[in-house]
Structure 1
Amino acid sequence: MKTFVIGDIHGAFKALQQLLVRMQLQPEDQLIFLGDYVDGWPQSAQVIELLIELQCRYRCIFIKGNHDVHCELWLQNNRNNSTWAQNKGLPTIQSYEPLNNENRLKHLEFFSRLQFFHIDANDRLFLHAGFKNDNGPAAESPVENLTLDRSLWELALTMNKRVISHPALYPKRLKLFKEIYIGHTPTLIYNETIPMSACNVWNIDTGAGHTGCLSAMDIDSKEVIQSDIVQELYPEFRRYRE
């Protein structure tokens, strides 16, 4: 049995399909998705449909990202936030045009079941972005901060070299868990095309919503599997940045 953590998808249905084939999954494997399933590339609705199917075949855990929050609100109210629609959500809205009300309701139910964080039996935390509260993600308020916070990753990056020489400096927030897995902040910002680690934090967002690949990582062996560069899979579409 393997457990894979998968980074931000951002509507890249073709990349998700390709990645799943390359992962050579077995029925007993577990998949943990870190959120931001929608917004960016043109097949957000198809991504959600595939994720719903996957939970019938594998043990899946789905984390909620900030882009998923917007899409859920849109599906609930049938009204779009103009800023979201113009800057990020338009490809998502267009992808939903062929779907009937029954399928839209099925997708809304999927969004409503997304978790803001997950802690496994080995004290490993999975969430979309980060948390600021020294008592952990369960104490974070409002809970939507877990989809937006970048300070945890910035803290890990800042302290990574320091704690090697001075273990006493290890930040309290990071010591709450054996490992922490996040997305939200593309590693491309740091000129990295594969998942990055700093202290005990792993960033799995390798920029599928931008000019990078979609990545999965075996959390035990740390083996990384990637799709092709997503923009090469959608050469006819413009990118929508964060």
Structure 2
Amino acid sequence: MKRKLVIGDIHGGLKGLKQVLKKAEITENDLLIFLGDYVDGWSDTPNTLDFLIELKKKFNCIFIKGNHDVLLLNWLKSNTPNPKWLKHGGAITIKNYANISDKTKKKHIKFLENLLTYYLDDKKRLFLHAGFTHVRGIENETHEDVFYWDRTLWETATAMDTNLCMNSPLYPKRLKIYKEIYIGHTPTIHINSPFPTQKACVWNLDTGAAFTGKISVLDIDTKEFWQSDLLTYLYSNEKGRNI
């Protein structure tokens, strides 16, 4: 592999995804690791899934499951929307699926069903959508939902005293297990950072694409990153989840 590139939350912003992948100049030698939440927010949710399905035919891709992807999957299979999902992007997505064929919906269901809960590489670098809670790591979690809903991992990393030594008994055990952890889920713009942000060993790639931010791609070895334009600019006639 030439590079390992990790991609943050997309939220139906296909225009931004295409733009940032072009900026990163991806090649067939790169490994593209997507951290989930491909859907809900902007009007291109169905088109985004179509694009990702085709992308995997040409490029080396790892697709991780996000909480919004789970909610969409549940709706596509049952036609019964989660009331909370409707308030957080689901209503927009249902509208976007109004003219989508059953054949395409089945293709999307298959894609969503095959998403990974996490990916751990050979250098003990962990990739997942949200976080984990068990002090002995991902293999000991008993509930899969934690991997795409947890926020405590990021909250712990951001709240830490930066002067705390790893040998200290106060140092969070979860942050000693893996060399690096890459997540999305909680927008960095909530802590006034528009860029991929590192706290302790945790890198957060959700740079607010669902709201007023951008889609980000990071080279995990060099830490060089690329970003799309603001999604509010690319979809200037829409509100996304900025309601």
Give ranges in structure 2 of 5+ residues lacking alignment: none
- Native 8 Å contact 2:118 2:129 kept in 1: yes
TM-score, normalization by structure 2: 0.95
- Native 8 Å contact 2:212 2:242 kept in 1: no
Q: Percent identity?
A: 44
Matched AA of 1:171 = P
Distance 1:63 1:139 in 2: 19
Distance 1:198 1:241 in 2: 26
Equivalenced residue count is 241
Q: Secondary structure at the match of 2:119?
A: strand
Alignment match, 1:188: 189
RMSD: 1.5
Please give the per-residue CA displacement for 1:215-237, whole angstroms capped at 9, x wherever unaligned: 00000000010000010011111
2:5 corresponds to 1:16 = no
Matched AA of 2:230 = I
- Native 8 Å contact 2:212 2:231 kept in 1: yes
Alignment of 1:143-158 (within 5 A): 143-158=144-159
Q: Secondary structure at the match of 1:4?
A: strand
Give ranges in structure 1 of 5+ residues lacking alignment: none
2:159 corresponds to 1:162 = no
Alignment of 1:76-87 (within 5 A): 76-87=77-88
- Native 8 Å contact 1:3 1:31 kept in 2: yes
Matched AA of 1:2 = R
> Post-superposition shift, 1:138?
2.5
Alignment match, 1:90: 91
- Native 8 Å contact 1:88 1:241 kept in 2: no
Q: Report the more deviating stretch, 97-106 or 108-117.
A: 97-106
TM-score, normalization by structure 1: 0.95
- Native 8 Å contact 1:44 1:91 kept in 2: no
> Are the structure 2 counterparts of residues 12 and 127 from structure 1 closer, same or farther at C-alpha, using a change threshold of 3 Å?
same
> Post-superposition shift, 1:5?
0.4
Distance 1:130 1:180 in 2: 9
Alignment of 1:10-89 (within 5 A): 10-89=11-90
> Post-superposition shift, 1:162?
3.2
> Post-superposition shift, 1:172?
1.3
